């Protein structure tokens, strides 16, 4: 296995930063701690250099008499050095150092070093120290919490130590059915498999070591554990079913005590990582039941397991697992857990884009492939579930003559309530599947996801559930290397054949041809973007997500930083609230988010912390890799994510009744600034929506309705420069139908309704 570049040859001279760090750790401390090496030298360490230093680092950390400055330096190397790699010699050296002052937890460190070794292990050199470390873990008690690590290290120590570890673990597992199943699977395998499974820990003191690369730790490495994982999940499902049947007394947060919860989470991770065909059904049996008490209480059988499984689905989603998580969200009664499940569900739907081979898998739910209908006879009537561009619907007909009915027949409501519930549930499932698919497709932008045309056509474009999503999006197919042709299935394509069953025309191409979503950032000619927007408006085509009207950013800067978003004063509460929902993290007074291959950092002119209120401005945005090195689509999506924060912070000023603290004065500052990307797209949409409406004109930053002005970035209405409070309908049932809007956005809808109110005044 290769986890890092080959180690330097034995005759290689250590780099200067390595010599400085080694000298500081071994020599007398300097009179002034400022002369010690620091963060700059630590960050220069390569994986193999770090692996060679770690034995010395741990010797210093274990020496309680070492000067405090050296111990702090050693811990800095341990925490900030990155991911180490070991040669056979440095791995054996680390084992020997750990064995000098062994602790119970050292088996975790030793097991992690084994799978980061780029050479065959020197088993003879490892055996003695491994025995000492295994003995420390056995003598420390609570061995069930270190099952995989202990067995991995004990396996190197020899058959006697391994047998003793096995006996101790079996004793610890005696009253833990899930852990017993997993433990027996571990016992039957070898050192490397045990060490790999030990790496899959939710909480560990090794959290500062980055996870193993996917190329090293693949799903195939866990094939041996798949059956054990299935049995663990099946046992958990049986336990929860018995609990909800009342066969087991209920106690809050007591369903999976001790290591049982961690075993269940780990089994779910293996099943989802390998995309096992049985994983979805078992999670559907576990998640909704672990999320709600069998009584009327607002507690859970195990809150920690519910959240851990939700986070596992978030990280490794499949369509079936996302559906199980959605069912748990519907069932849960605990307010705090509800919020956490909602957050995990949103992220799981987006993370499906990272697994395109999984995201394409959608059940047909019994719908007719050609018509997208499911007709179910119920007595003298027929329930008709249809999938159209407007969404799935449920209607009723007479079975004898096919006459459409206005509503659900009274006889069906009286005699077949279960059939009605099943039909309505099917409509909900179709709607959620389409939403999940749309989110997964949109998330593929930052990953530059491409599909093979044959599978795309069969599993998406001709699929009865997915078809209405696919047909409303613009796609690109590669006709020749680097030559992409854009088409809209709902609009037809020259020389195409109609085989989708829905009147769509799909291009003719080989099954291996590449196909991807069109993105406005790839259009080098602005006329192409304009043409697609005009076409979508002409067809009145509501796209599943904002595509042709999507913001696109092509800043002039090519370095790591951009000043594109500096200027507006933002509502801190609105920005931070959205940041949490969108997956931003607060780190050292900045917002940080990973968007595909890019790490985006947003600086503000003040301290950042959860719950902050007041006002601040953006003082800079930094991307790594720099702007010039990023793919145009990834760069545009990263800047779009920042613009969303800025735009929402600006829109938070809309409330005309709040005039305290000079709010209107701050709002006026926006009028002197150029429009952001979202507002420019709004302007483009409004010009098309209001084209030909008498008394309305759309300028660069405002639209004018007679003597009133509406700002395109904030929706603020003014007359002669003074704010005007307009009572705008909220879009409820009493509101008048809107003209066609090309995409969903609250402010766009509000501005259009404001125009209607002003025209009627």
C-alpha–C-alpha distance, residues 144 and 176, integer Å: 10
> Rounded mean pLDDT of 289-311?
95
Contacts of 58 by beta carbon, 8 Å cutoff, 6+ apart: 74, 78, 94, 97, 98, 109
C-alpha–C-alpha distance, residues 603 and 363, integer Å: 44
CA-wise closest residue to 386 among 398, 368, 400: 368
With H, G, I as helix, E, B as strand and everything else as coil, classify residue 8. Answer: coil
Backbone dihedral region for residue 205 (phi beyond 0: left; psi -120 to 50: alpha; all else: beta):
alpha
Predicted confidence at residue 34, as pLDDT, reads: 61
Cis peptide before 511 (omega within 30 of 0): no
For residue range 207-224, list pLDDT tens digits in order: 457 777 655 555 566 788
> Rounded mean pLDDT of 557-578?
86
* Reduced 3-state DSSP string for 73-107: HHHHHHHHCCCCCECHHHHHHHHHHHHHCCCCCHH
Torsion sign (Cα): 153, 158, 162, 164: negative
Give the global pTM: 0.73
Question: Averaging pLDDT over each range in 7-21, 227-241, 343-357, which range is the top one?
Answer: 227-241
Query: Which structure tokens are listed for 109?
Result: 């460190």
For residue range 55-79, list pLDDT tens digits in order: 999 999 888 888 888 888 888 888 8
Chain centroid to Cα 175, Å, comes to: 36
- Report the chain's C-alpha Rg in angstroms: 30
For residue range 393-446, list pLDDT tens digits in order: 999 999 998 899 999 999 999 999 999 999 999 999 899 889 889 988 998 999
Question: DSSP secondary structure string, 468-491?
Answer: HHHTTS-EEEEEETTEEEEEBGGG
484: phi then psi, degrees, rounded to nearest 5: -110, 135
For residue range 76-129, list pLDDT tens digits in order: 888 888 889 999 999 999 999 999 999 888 898 999 999 999 999 999 999 999
């Amino acid at each position: 296995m290769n986890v890092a570049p080959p180690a330097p040859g034995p005759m290689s001279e250590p780099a200067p930063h390595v010599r400085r760090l080694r000298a500081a750790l071994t020599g007398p401390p300097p009179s002034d701690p400022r002369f010690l090496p620091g963060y700059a030298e630590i960050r220069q360490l390569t994986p193999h250099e770090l692996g060679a230093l770690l034995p010395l680092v741990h010797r210093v950390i274990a020496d309680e008499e070492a000067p405090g400055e050296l111990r702090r330096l050693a811990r800095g190397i341990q925490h900030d050095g990155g991911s180490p790699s070991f040669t056979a010699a440095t791995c054996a050296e680390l084992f020997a150092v750990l064995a000098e002052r062994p602790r119970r937890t050292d088996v975790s460190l030793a097991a992690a070093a084994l799978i980061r070794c780029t050479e065959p292990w020197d088993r003879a050199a490892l055996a003695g120290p491994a025995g000492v470390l295994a003995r420390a873990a056995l003598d420390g008690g609570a061995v069930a919490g270190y099952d995989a690590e202990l067995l991995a290290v004990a396996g190197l120590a020899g058959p006697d130590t391994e047998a003793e570890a096995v006996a101790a673990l079996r004793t610890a597992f005696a009253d833990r059915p899930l852990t017993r199943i997993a433990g027996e699977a571990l016992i039957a395998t070898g050192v490397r498999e045990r060490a790999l499974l030990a790496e899959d820990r939710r909480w560990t003191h090794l959290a500062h070591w980055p996870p193993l690369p996917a190329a090293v730790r693949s799903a195939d490495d866990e094939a041996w554990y798949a059956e054990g994982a299935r049995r663990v999940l099946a046992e958990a499902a049986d336990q929860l079913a018995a609990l909800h049947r009342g066969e087991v007394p209920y106690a809050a947060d007591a369903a999976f005590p001790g290591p049982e919860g961690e075993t269940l989470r780990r089994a779910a991770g293996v099943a989802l990582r390998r995309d096992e065909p049985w994983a979805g059904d078992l999670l559907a049996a576990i998640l909704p039941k672990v999320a709600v008490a069998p009584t009327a209480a607002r507690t859970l059988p195990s809150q920690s397991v519910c959240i851990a499984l939700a986070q596992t689905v978030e990280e490794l989603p499949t369509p079936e697992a996302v559906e199980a998580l959605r069912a748990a969200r519907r069932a849960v009664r605990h307010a705090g857990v509800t919020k956490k499940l909602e957050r995990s569900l949103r992220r799981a739907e987006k993370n499906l884009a990272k697994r395109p081979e999984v995201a394409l898998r959608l059940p047909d739910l019994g719908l007719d492939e050609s018509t997208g209908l499911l007709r179910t006879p119920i007595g003298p009537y027929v329930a008709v579930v249809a999938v159209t561009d407007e969404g799935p619907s449920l209607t009723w007909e007479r079975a004898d003559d096919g006459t459409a009915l206005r509503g659900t027949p009274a006889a069906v409501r009286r005699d077949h309530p279960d059939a009605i519930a099943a039909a309505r549930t099917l409509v909900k499932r179709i709607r959620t599947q389409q939403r999940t698919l749309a989110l997964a497709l949109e998330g593929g932008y930052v990953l530059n996801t491409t599909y093979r045309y044959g599978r795309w056509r069969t599993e998406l474009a001709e699929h009865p559930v997915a078809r209405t999503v696919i047909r409303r999006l613009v796609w690109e197919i590669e006709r020749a290397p680097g030559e992409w042709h854009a088409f809209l299935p709902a609009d037809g394509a020259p020389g195409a054949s109609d085989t989708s069953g829905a009147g769509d025309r799909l291009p003719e191409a080989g099954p291996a041809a590449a196909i991807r979503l069109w993105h406005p950032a790839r259009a080098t000619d602005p006329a192409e973007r304009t043409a697609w927007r005009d076409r979508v408006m002409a067809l009145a085509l509501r796209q599943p997500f904002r595509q042709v009207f999507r913001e696109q950013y092509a800043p002039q800067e090519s370095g790591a930083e951009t000043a594109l978003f500096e200027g507006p004063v933002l509502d801190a509460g609105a920005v931070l609230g959205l940041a949490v929902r969108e997956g931003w993290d607060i780190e050292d007074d900045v917002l940080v988010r990973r968007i595909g291959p890019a790490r985006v950092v947003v600086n503000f002119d003040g301290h950042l912390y959860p719950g902050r209120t007041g006002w601040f401005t953006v003082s800079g945005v930094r991307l790594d890799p720099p702007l010039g090195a990023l793919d145009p689509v990834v760069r545009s999506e990263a800047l779009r994510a920042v613009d969303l924060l800025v735009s929402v912070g600006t829109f938070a000023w809309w409330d005309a009744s709040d005039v305290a603290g000079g709010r209107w004065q701050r709002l006026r500052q926006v009028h002197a600034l150029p429009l952001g990307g979202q507002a420019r797209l709004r302007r483009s949409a409004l010009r098309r929506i209001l084209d030909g409406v008498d008394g309305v004109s759309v300028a660069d930053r405002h639209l004018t309705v007679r003597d009133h002005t509406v700002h395109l970035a904030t929706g603020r209405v003014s007359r002669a420069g003074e704010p005007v409070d307009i009572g705008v309908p909220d879009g409820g049932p009493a509101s008048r139908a809107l003209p066609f809007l090309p995409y969903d956005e609250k402010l766009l809808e509000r501005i259009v309704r404001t125009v209607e109110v002003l025209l009627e005044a």
